Amino acid sequence: MDGRLAVLVSGSGTNLQVLLDDPAIAPHVVVVGSDRPDVKALDRAEAAGVAAFVIEPSALPDRAAFTAAFRDELLARGVDTVVLAGFMRVLGPAFCEAFPERVLNVHPALLPAFPGARAVEDALAWGAKVTGVTVHLVDEEVDHGPIVLQEAVPIRPDDDWDALEVRIHDAEHRLLPQAVTALLEGRLTVDGRRVRVGAAAS
């Protein structure tokens, strides 16, 4: 398993915690980056002894400058693999170009259904019977890159946002470590929009 991993966050960091609690992944997490100060994810990084930084978009003139700031910070720290774990900002194409096929995002829906920041709420409003979780490689479009793993989550008739969110998080916490491990172990083969996940070494 090889790689220097950055995890980018914007909130409570439950997916970050799952990665920090995984004994195979944790040694590879070298930095946590956030677009917001005073979020719980930064406390989780500190508790784990992982370096962290904050770059607020309001401090920069536009998305291109914000993208460049994150890219340059990660490159300066020797990062080669990035996980967007509840990171609520869109980074420009220059970011993916710096880490080709090495940026993973976890999204709380079965893409291409319900892209964007309100995926759980949108699935409920649409009356969908099933939603889920997608872990995908990031490209220049929002919630668009090749899909690595997906898991369906049924929507129950009495579900509200809070109840569904709990089961979505459970699925995220299962899928994300699997995808990160496969990427760090070099088991992802990308052919256009198709990603083949090779078997783990026995």
Residues assigned a catalytic role:
107
pLDDT tens for 149-184 read 999 999 999 999 999 999 999 999 999 999 999 999
* Dist CA 68 CA 53 (whole Å): 15
Checking if the pLDDT of 84 tops 90, the result is yes
Taking residues 63-81, report their average pLDDT: 96
Q: Which two tokens stand for residue 24?
A: 């195979």
State phi, psi for 160 to the nearest 5 degrees. Answer: -115, -175
Q: Which ranges constitute the DSSP H helices of the chain? A: 14-21, 40-47, 63-76, 93-98, 119-126, 161-184
pLDDT tens for 14-25 read 999 999 999 999
* Residue labelled with tokens 């962290």: 52
Identity at 87, one-letter amino acid code: F
CA-CA distances (angstroms) from residue 135 to 9, 126, 150?
Answer: 15, 22, 6
Q: Which domains does the chain have, with CATH numbers?
A: 1-100 (3.40.50.170), 105-202 (3.40.50.170)
Burial class (CB in 10 A: 0-12, 13-18, 19+), 32: buried
Contact 24, 181 (CB under 8 A): yes
